[in-house]
Amino acid sequence: MYDQVKQRVPETLGDADRHYLEMAMELSRSYRDDQRRWPFGAIVVVAGTMAGQGVNQVVELNDPTAHAETMALRAACTTRRSHLLEDGVLYSSSEPCPMCLAACCWACIPRIVYAATSLAASFSWNCGSNWRSLMALLFIWK
């Protein structure tokens, strides 16, 4: 299955997609060694401009909903002064969980681009393997 997806990625990801996905991955890397934050990052781009970014702050804020994606959505909604991001794209360092996916649906975000699958992220987290090597697995959902 991974081989099929890898072959599809170059056809579907544009330069802007790669740029913003790399930014989301860099956010996750920047907090990799911070015990208060889990290494996840997300960016919301609206109309070609970054409207918000977020990192996982679940432990730091004592908030189980403070995933990188929801934090990026909150920031983007504040920036745009709207609860709807109908022309937005969410870029995430890993596959959004069901809560974050539902939040994207409620915000009417039509497109999500993510790097690692939830399975790969879980494997990395539990086994302490190299996070960057797992980021090589690129997926897109539209």
CB of 112 to Zn ion, least distance (A): 12
Q: Which is nearer to Zn ion, 15 or 77 (CB)?
A: 77
Nearest in space to 46 (alpha carbons), one of 94, 95, 1, 83: 83
Q: Which listed residue (100, 121, 135, 138) binds Zn ion by CB under 5 A?
A: 100
Please indicate whether residue 69 is annotated as part of the active site. yes
CB of 127 to Zn ion, least distance (A): 21
Q: Which is nearer to Zn ion, 10 or 44 (CB)?
A: 44
Q: Which listed residue (13, 50, 59, 97) binds Zn ion by CB under 5 A?
A: 97
Identify the active-site residue in 22, 69, 86, 95: 69
Gap between the Cα atoms of 121 and 16, Å rounded:
24
Q: Does 134 bind Zn ion (CB under 5 A)?
A: no
Interface contacts to Zn ion, rule CB under 5 A = 67, 97, 99-100
Which active-site residues does the annotation give? 69
